[in-house]
Amino acid sequence: MQFSGLTKPPIGVVFDSALGDGIDDVLALALLYALEGKSETRVVSTSTTKSTLRSAMFAEALTKFLMGPPPPRPAPGVFAGFQRPVPAIGMADNGKLAQDTPVLRAVLDRKNDQGEPLYPRAITRLNETADPAALIRNALTAQNDENCLVLLAGPATNLAAMMALRGSMELIRAKVKVLMLAWGSYPEGAADPNVKADLAAARQLLTAWPTTVVAVGAELGTAVPFPGESFGKDFAWSTSHPILDACLAYHAQPYDVPASALAAALYSIRPDSGFTTSAPGTISVLDDGRLRFAPGAGGKHSYLLADPARKAEIQRTYVELVSAKPLPRPMRRRIPEKKEEVPPASIKPPEPRTGPL
């Protein structure tokens, strides 16, 4: 959405992950929506590289919960808040990573007393999801120049497909400040499953992505995890919470969650929150899925570092934001006079997606 005539909006976030495979990215999405509630950012695109409808359903259920209830209806003729609709969810349809997981089951299979899904969602068919490449490109198109960032916490499949679309590289250069990459171990360490899931896409992304890339390695996520003790107390304001259900299903408690994607999300919006970056260089992809960092003054890549002295502060911020009670996300507008609108004849509705479930 363009904001013509208004001040520059908070930075937009394109969020792409393998939602349902792990839990760190789920916590990162919760943190982003908490920051959106504080008007510090906007989640402008959400997509999953898991090629299963249940991952898209999971993403929609999380989004509905995290966006909070609709704001109260104001008196006629005054400035009003309105609840922006739940954004479209992009889903890869390439057949990869299609397995069901305990995280998905914990949220999607939970029922209320009437036997209905406890966490509402509308997606039931493939054509109710969006093509992720087109979704991401269109989200970038709607942003002010240099007022968007991309957070990737899964395979590079969707971003590589978006980069291949006509005009996308120029669009990335104009709109995106930074690509946050929750991948790998630095300077060089264990193989990353998200890289191994699509080596070709990972290489294309790191070779051709035209803006700054900041990678957040597994060692940082382990050094500054999300504290597992939070699950037993900080989510108690709700008798049912999809983030808590997903976390409890992912690993037996007590369990501190390695938080690479969470660090990427927090640093990207609050860069002064206890992190810094390495010297610049170039990250390359090895055949076994490991990433190698080579320092170099001309490089566009770096990796994130945490200040050990601020570990407790970072973790307090994680808990405060991830466990925050969702608030309405009103957008401000003046209610116009009611008039009949006739859609232009030249505008045609988009073709629905087709294909197997």
Task: Judge whether residue 332 has pLDDT over 60.
Answer: no
The domain spans of the chain are 12-72+80-326
148-153 vs 12-17, strand pairing mode: parallel
Dist CA 43 CA 30 (whole Å): 11
Give me the phi and psi of 73, to 5 degrees please.
-75, 125
Residue 86 has a pLDDT of: 83
Q: Rounded to whole angstroms, what are the CA distances from 83 to 71, 80, 127, 331, 339?
A: 6, 10, 24, 7, 21
CATH architecture label of 12-72+80-326: Alpha-Beta Complex (3.90)
**How confident is the model over 251-278, as a mean pLDDT?**
96
Task: Judge whether residue 340 has pLDDT over 60.
Answer: no
Residue-wise pLDDT for 283-317, tens only, equals: 999 999 999 999 999 999 999 999 999 999 999 99
116 alpha carbon, distance to own chain's centre = 27
Residue-wise pLDDT for 214-246, tens only, equals: 999 999 999 999 999 999 999 999 999 999 999
Q: Where does the pLDDT of residue 8 fall: very low under 50, low under 70, confident under 90, or very high at 90 and above?
A: confident
Task: Judge whether residue 7 has pLDDT over 70.
Answer: yes
Reported in sequence order, the residue ranges of the chain that DSSP labels E, i.e. its strands, are 12-17, 42-48, 79-83, 89-91, 148-153, 176-181, 212-215, 275-277, 281-285, 291-295, 301-306, 330-334
CA angle, corner 21, sides to 19 and 24, nearest 5? 75
Question: Residues near 77 by Cβ (< 8 Å), separated by ≥ 6?
Answer: 335
Residue 344 has a pLDDT of: 46
Residue 187 has a pLDDT of: 73
**How confident is the model over 120-144, as a mean pLDDT?**
97
Q: Residue 57: helix, strand or coil by DSSP?
A: helix
Residue-wise pLDDT for 18-42, tens only, equals: 999 999 999 999 999 999 999 999 9
Residue 346 has a pLDDT of: 43
pTM of the model: 0.88
Contact assessment for residue 10 and residue 148, using Cβ atoms and an 8 Å cutoff: no
Higher pLDDT, 352 or 114: 114
**How confident is the model over 246-273, as a mean pLDDT?**
95
Residue 222 has a pLDDT of: 96
Q: What percent of the chain lies above the pLDDT cut of 70?
A: 86
